[in-house]
Structure 1
Amino acid sequence: MANPNILCTRIDNRLIHGQVGVTWVNHLGANLIIVANDKVAEDEVQQNLMDMVVSDAVQTRYFTVQKTIDIIFKASPRQKIFLVVKDIHDALRLKEGGVPIDYVNVGNMHFEEGKRQISSTVSVDEADIQACKRLNELGVELDVRRVPNERGQNLMDLI
């Protein structure tokens, strides 16, 4: 079975918003956004709000992380997938579950109690750092970048 046509995987704790639903989708040429997150997969209100940001030409799917792992290889080659996750831990679960992710765009990991800010949009705690290191060991490039035309930074250089 062929690998799914995943154009980009992005970590953004806001999931789909203007930057993701318009700027990144247009830059990538994606026609499908898959949000892989256990809570959002069960929250139709949040899904409907996110769908309002996306063009009618782009489909959206909201799956749990496990369902994404289970079905990603059933994707059609015509599906140009933009995979969006809420945090580094969902990205790691996908990679360890066999989803072919070699590159992750780290867009937003908001600051909260117990985290330290390492860039204008990324804050991490020790658990996040361990997940980053594990993804790095698995050969995943972690690129901190808010928007496509911004120069990225290797997350491993920042932690």
Structure 2
Amino acid sequence: MSNVNIVFTRVDNRLVHGQVGNVWVTASGANLILVVDDEVCKDSLQQSLMKMTADSVGVKIRFFSVQKTIDIIGKAAPSQKIFIVAKTPFVIEELVKNGVPIKSCNIGNMHKSEGKEIFHEVHVYTDKNDIDCFERLKNMGVDVYIQITPNDRKYVV
């Protein structure tokens, strides 16, 4: 599976939106956005909204569950430059634990919710479980960092 061409991985509660489509896809050189989410892969309305963003920047988009991603990502063509996006770092951790060759993970937006405290500026809210997940990812060799847009400073977690 090490031949899989994953060019960018991002945690963003919003999944695919203008910032991901217009800024990160361009900066990463991706030609395929892979949304890894067990709920969205079954929700055609959310998919159609995200597909509009992908279409506007001329890239393909796929919606897979965590397990489907683990099962088939190794079959990706070398020409596919894959941008993985998930809502939580726990999804990324599950992928890595199951052999998906993710080398780095950009932490984008993690919204404020009950029990979450500000971790970085105004975009990343975490609890102890999130921070522990970041540490586990780092221990598995994943470079975990916060960077809201490519022009912003990169903060190593």
Is TM-score (shorter-chain normalized) higher than 0.5? yes
TM-score, length basis structure 2 = 0.95
C-alpha displacement of 1:149? 1.3
User: Which residue of structure 1 aligns with residue 24 of structure 2?
Assistant: 24
User: Which residue of structure 1 aligns with residue 135 of structure 2?
Assistant: 133
Give aligned-pair identity as a percent.
48
* Other structure's SS at 1:13 match: coil
C-alpha displacement of 1:3? 1.6
Q: Which amino acid aligns with 2:139?
A: E
User: Which residue of structure 1 aligns with residue 59 of structure 2?
Assistant: 58
Q: Which amino acid aligns with 2:126?
A: V
Distance, in Å, in 1 between the alignment partners of 2:54 and 2:77 is: 21
User: Which residue of structure 1 aligns with residue 40 of structure 2?
Assistant: 40
Distance, in Å, in 2 between the alignment partners of 1:62 and 1:34 is: 6
* Other structure's SS at 1:111 match: coil
Distance, in Å, in 1 between the alignment partners of 2:110 and 2:33 is: 19
* Other structure's SS at 2:135 match: helix
User: Which residue of structure 2 aligns with residue 118 of structure 1?
Assistant: 119
C-alpha displacement of 1:152? 0.6
Distance, in Å, in 1 between the alignment partners of 2:128 and 2:2 is: 36
In the alignment, structure 2 segments of 5+ residues that lack a partner are none
C-alpha displacement of 1:69? 0.7
C-alpha displacement of 1:2? 5.0
User: Which residue of structure 1 aligns with residue 82 of structure 2?
Assistant: 81
Residues 31 and 59 in structure 2, CA contact (< 8 A), matched pair in contact too: yes
C-alpha displacement of 1:100? 0.3
RMSD: 1.1
TM-score, length basis structure 1 = 0.94
Structure 1, residues 70-100: CA drift from partner, whole Å, max 9, x if none? Answer: 1111000100111111111111111111100
Q: Which amino acid aligns with 1:9?
A: T
Residues 10 and 86 in structure 2, CA contact (< 8 A), matched pair in contact too: yes
Residues 2 and 101 in structure 2, CA contact (< 8 A), matched pair in contact too: no
Distance, in Å, in 1 between the alignment partners of 2:145 and 2:105 is: 6
Change (3 A) 1:118 1:2: closer
In the alignment, structure 1 segments of 5+ residues that lack a partner are none
User: Which residue of structure 2 aligns with residue 91 of structure 1?
Assistant: 92
